A and B are shown apart, each in its own frame.
Chain A
């Protein structure tokens, strides 16, 4: 009898029909509506928003719409699907693979990454035990954020990050929402893979992905490409993660997102002692701005970083304003690079 059971399918993506992976995580009614969306809108789809007892909304191309059950986009809420408690609970079951306990930590952080690197934000009743969030229950809202991998964002900056074939410690400085993580991800990919035609060798890169944003790991498997020589510590605090990498994975380069806590600086000095190169990011707008910051300011003053990439969204999101040689404080690019690839 048991042998007659059909093989259990692990992949949720139906490759034959080209159904997007995230659709399988929606409750059936909403899944059908999303499936029926106009194709050109679906390409730009950024968010699917479920709010309890509110009309279903989708966001894409800088506009939001209500959604009818046949996939029509509506400007007002009449005729839109009303999201119910059952829709949200069922979607949560699919997202957590029917096992709340297996995504406990993710729920505490307020989001779950699913296959394909898509991220689902959660809101609901938070149970707080005085020191930290214990868990969340009675979910009232879900935000499906559709991830799109954009390769090529780092193409223009890569030549500036090497000196005589050696990778230089690099700091990316950027205000929020300027494509900092996308750029970092693509730099990691390039450093890890190397570039045979330019004689640049690939390096072993260790990534501490504290917020699962860089690799968007799902069950430990990176959903976004960080290169062939990359080791990823998922959901690991940065300082501890860097120490683990130094001890265990012998990386040439360590990459992390948003450094800035006291304990990070100790881990960084350990890494430098071990001869490991660094690439990291920080919130900010200019070199002067960074000097004022505690941990990272000291690192910059001590000339730990050799290159600094400053991003802005003045012209386009992800415009590279300048690439500074920190030792000489010279801007290496004449005019800002408009980086269309970064969204």
Chain B
């Protein structure tokens, strides 16, 4: 009897956890997109007021936090300063391939990042700011979508996890 109870509890708790973990990916994406928006704002300020060159700028923004967005920025900064044979876009895309794919970002978010990489640094300050603002709108749209998805799915998957656990227990015993 006690054994049954313990096994049931383990099953219910772990399937609830699984549900939560899956639900957590929605929160993670929202958080990353939020960070990206802040990063884009910093890009805008630093480029228009200080004209900070990209390698330093990426390092500066990247050092602010420990998220996947920061890792992407730091990896690009590092490869630009280290090897001196890639263009900015090449270094950026390589960093997206290694850091971005494993992050909580969706394919459509990574597309936006690639678009950003193809334009960063290759025009004067005024046009960089214009471009960053357009891109920011796109990222914000994805961010709002991510919030919607989070609201919709967070409870859903947690409950789903819990109910799956309970169902398994009922079927087993």
B87 and A99 form a contact (CB under 8 A)? no
Given the complex of chains A and B, what is the CA–CA distance between A5 and B74 in angstroms?
8
Say if the beta carbon of B116 comes within 8 Å of chain A. no
Say if the beta carbon of B158 comes within 8 Å of chain A. no
B: interface residue count bin = 20 to 34
A contact residues vs B (CB 8 Å cutoff): 1-2, 5-6, 8-10, 12, 24, 28, 89-90, 93-94, 96-102, 104, 135
Q: Return the chain A residue nearest B51 by Cβ.
A: A102
CB distance from A5 to the nearest CB of B (A): 6
B contact residues vs A (CB 8 Å cutoff): 47, 51-55, 57, 59, 62-63, 66, 70-71, 74-75, 77-78, 80-82, 84-85, 87-88, 121-125, 128
B62 / chain A contacts, CB cutoff of 8 Å: 2
A94 / chain B contacts, CB cutoff of 8 Å: 84
- Given A1-B66, A10-B81 in contact, is the A101-B47 Cβ separation under 8 Å? yes
B88 and A104 form a contact (CB under 8 A)? no
Given the complex of chains A and B, what is the CA–CA distance between A9 and B70 in angstroms?
18
A2 and B71 form a contact (CB under 8 A)? yes
A24 / chain B contacts, CB cutoff of 8 Å: 84
Q: Return the chain B residue nearest A93 by Cβ.
A: B87
CB distance from B93 to the nearest CB of A (A): 14
Q: Which of B54, B77, B87, B124 contacts A8 (CB 8 A)?
A: B77
A101 and B82 form a contact (CB under 8 A)? no
- Given A98-B121, A102-B51 in contact, is the A12-B78 Cβ separation under 8 Å? no
B53 and A98 form a contact (CB under 8 A)? yes
B71 and A99 form a contact (CB under 8 A)? no
Q: Knowing that A98-B54, A99-B54, A104-B124 are A-B contacts, what are 17 other residue pairs whose CB atoms are under 8 Å apart, sorted by A's residue number?
A: A1-B66, A2-B62, A2-B66, A5-B75, A8-B59, A8-B81, A9-B81, A10-B81, A24-B84, A90-B87, A93-B87, A97-B53, A97-B54, A98-B55, A98-B80, A101-B125, A102-B53
